[in-house]
Amino acid sequence: MPEVSQPDGNRLRRYQFSLRSLLLFVFFFALVMGLLRWLYVTGPVAVRNGYAGLTLRQMLIEHMEHNDGRWPESWDDLEPFFEEAARKESDYCTFATIKSSMYIDFSFDPDEYMEAVRQGSEPSELRVVAPKLGRFGWGDWWPNEAIEGYLTRKANMRFDSPESSEAQPAANNSD
């Protein structure tokens, strides 16, 4: 009868996990996750997104100011406003960087949003700009909120304009 060999104890040991191996794995896993979180939340990606969002919001507002409140149809519509926006806000990013790192909802209609504001209904939260990767970062100058504020002010100015008050009958002219 052939002799059955017993497994070598050294070969089995290299497949066994020790507490030390487990702790080293957990440590390195936490280190990698922390580094990824830093890159995502406060690192270079978040800084780039913050400055790109800052410049992009100004480009969008400049475009609406110069085009009777119309929203751009493509990135090509925004490129002429980059230099002005970079001068006013931040020249940290190039136009190509902004275009490659930010998303714009080109189907947005600002007139619909302003009409909802004028009618007193609560329009849904405006989300027309977003980073393609990561988040905007820090600061109180989030692009969507700035564009929302601009459109709300513009809607209220149109509502309070002399043309709109002439169309309404006089309240009480008993002089």
> For 81-136, how does the pLDDT look when each residue is reduced to its tens digit (9 = 90+)?
999 888 887 778 899 999 999 999 999 999 999 988 888 887 778 889 988 887 66
Which of 48-57, 71-80, 81-90, 128-137 is predicted least confidently? 128-137
* 102 close to 129: Cβ distance less than 8 angstroms: yes
Q: Where does the pLDDT of residue 145 fall: very low under 50, low under 70, confident under 90, or very high at 90 and above?
A: confident
Pairing of strands 102-104, 129-131: antiparallel
CA distances from 169 to 164, 166, 175 (A): 10, 7, 16
Residue 73 lies in a domain: yes
CA torsion sign for 109, 112, 116, 117 is positive
Residue 83 lies in a domain: yes
Residue 153 lies in a domain: yes
Residue 73 is predicted with a pLDDT of 96
Residue 112 lies in a domain: yes
Helix axes 44-66, 19-41, angle to 10 degrees: 20
| 3-state DSSP assignment of residue 88 | helix
Task: State the residue for tokens 């008050």.
Answer: 165
Query: In the Cβ-directed half-sphere of 147, how many Cα atoms lie within 13 Å?
Result: 31
Name the residue range of residue 141's domain.
41-161
Residue 62 lies in a domain: yes
Name the more confident of 106 and 168.
Answer: 106
**Long-range CB contacts (within 8 A, 24+) of 22-28:** none
Q: Where does the pLDDT of residue 34 fall: very low under 50, low under 70, confident under 90, or very high at 90 and above?
A: confident
Residue 175 is predicted with a pLDDT of 39
Residue 129 is predicted with a pLDDT of 92
Residue 95 is predicted with a pLDDT of 95
Residue 60 is predicted with a pLDDT of 95
Residue 160 is predicted with a pLDDT of 56
> Per-residue pLDDT averaged across 135-157, rounded?
79
Residue 170 lies in a domain: no
In SS3 terms, 116-132 reads as HHHCCCCCCCCCCEEEC
Q: Is the pLDDT of residue 138 over 60?
A: no
Tokens of 30: 């936490």
Q: What is the DSSP letter of 152?
A: H
Domain tally, the chain: 1
Tokens of 12: 């089995």
The one-letter amino acid code at 12 reads: L
